Structure 1
Amino acid sequence: MTPNKTFDLLIPRRQSSLRQQVIERLRDAILSGLFEPGQKLVERDLCEMLGISRTVVREALQHLGAEGLIENIPHKGPVVATLGLKEARDIYAVRQALEALAGEGFAQHADAAQMQALRDALEHLKTLPSDAGQDAVLQAKNRFYGILLEGCGNQVVGNMLTLLNNRVTLLRRMSLAAPGRLGNTLVELEEIVSALEQRNGPRARQLCADHVARASAVALQGLEASAGPVQRQKVPTGASQE
């Protein structure tokens, strides 16, 4: 298994557990596109890349499977999960409802420091150079949404969106790749932040829902055009692979 991009997976010595470091490295590799949807992950190769034992790699793969980033295919082993159209639609439907609640909650509960932090995060996103890579844009967007969730006053909404975050990041990568989408995103986020600064909860709720709906339309259009591994079919346990 040879990744098609340059990416140093070797684990440095840190205070956090080795297992957690491996999980983070493999998660980053998947979300960055180093390992592509449908790609088989060979434990032996991962051990060599990471410089660790197979036991730790296997535990990390199981954890990422629980996050929905890896699937175990009978007679094939672990592969990077792909998102089917129905799953993508379901994710966007849940995300739309939750982010609308988060927006309204932020308008009602965020303190002045959180409001300023959200504005600063948006301004940072706006000032990214035109040649900034997609990873930089996604990191800036994740920072923005992290602040939104922290200040929304609803821990359940925050926890549920956090659980969805990895698959949402994969979908964001697709929607942001569409021509002109980033510019539209900045306009939409500016409208959202302006409504939040005015403490207009109902308007913020509607703008958040509209923003997700537009992103959904772009990403789903890309998925439909792909019509390859995107159309994932679950394989029953024990079924053979042709």
Structure 2
Amino acid sequence: MTVALPASSPATFEIKSANLPLVALLLKSTDLAALARELATRFGDIPDFFDNDPLVIELSSLAADAGAIDFAALVAMMRPYRVAPIAVRGGSPAQMAAALAAGLVAAPDARVSAPAPAPERAAPKSRAAPAEAPPAPAPGALVIDKPLRSGQQVYARGRDLVVLAMVNPGAEVIADGHIHVYAPLRGKAMAGARGNADARIFSLCLEPELISIAGIYRTSENPLPDGVWGQPTQVRLVPGPEGDKLVMDPIKVSGKA
């Protein structure tokens, strides 16, 4: 049956498509007590990490025999971190029903972004490609030119962080992109804070209390190799069969071996 709608448009509203940037919580366990502890450890001292971002809860990583989830408790747990859980995807029929009963919506079409692997070589072009509009420039790096004392924290949201002075013990530098410290790094440095596994940490003198890339971290309780402690070093994340690991490579500086 064909339905004809009036040609005149309403004066008080319009319906339009919209794209909403989401963050995703990839739930790997139904143990909410353990989740609460790990959230507090990672984000408890970064109150501005999120900015009231809408959140989709991703359940596809849970084991097939995972137990029930108290979604009301999970939603209440996430709100103090300034995220707004609105949707869920990837769960079993029972989990999805429980999520809907808690006021979340099903979002089967939501996709969690991941870095695409770079091609080994470009495909030959048989003809000239049509000109495309240049992409919008990425936000410039946040530059800090004063020493950071104990208790101070700097977060470069959505961009790189460049520090031109010492990061003292007890200070924290955090970035969604790379972190460059052109001085001794003796506090905590967390690059790729929102999951960018390609982020790196660079320092002219690496003596950190903690280094982290995309949530994979190493503390001073596990001493760094002699070849990089106190030396110009880059830190990167390398995938492996046993999981991702942090790799530290010396940087050759002019005038040094």
Report 1 or 2 for greater relative contact order, CA contacts < 8 Å, sequence distance ≥ 6: 1
Please indicate, yes or no, whether the TM-score normalized by the shorter chain is above 0.5.
no
Greater C-alpha radius of gyration: 2
Could you tell me the TM-score, scaled by structure 2's length? 0.28
Q: More strand per residue: 1 or 2? A: 2
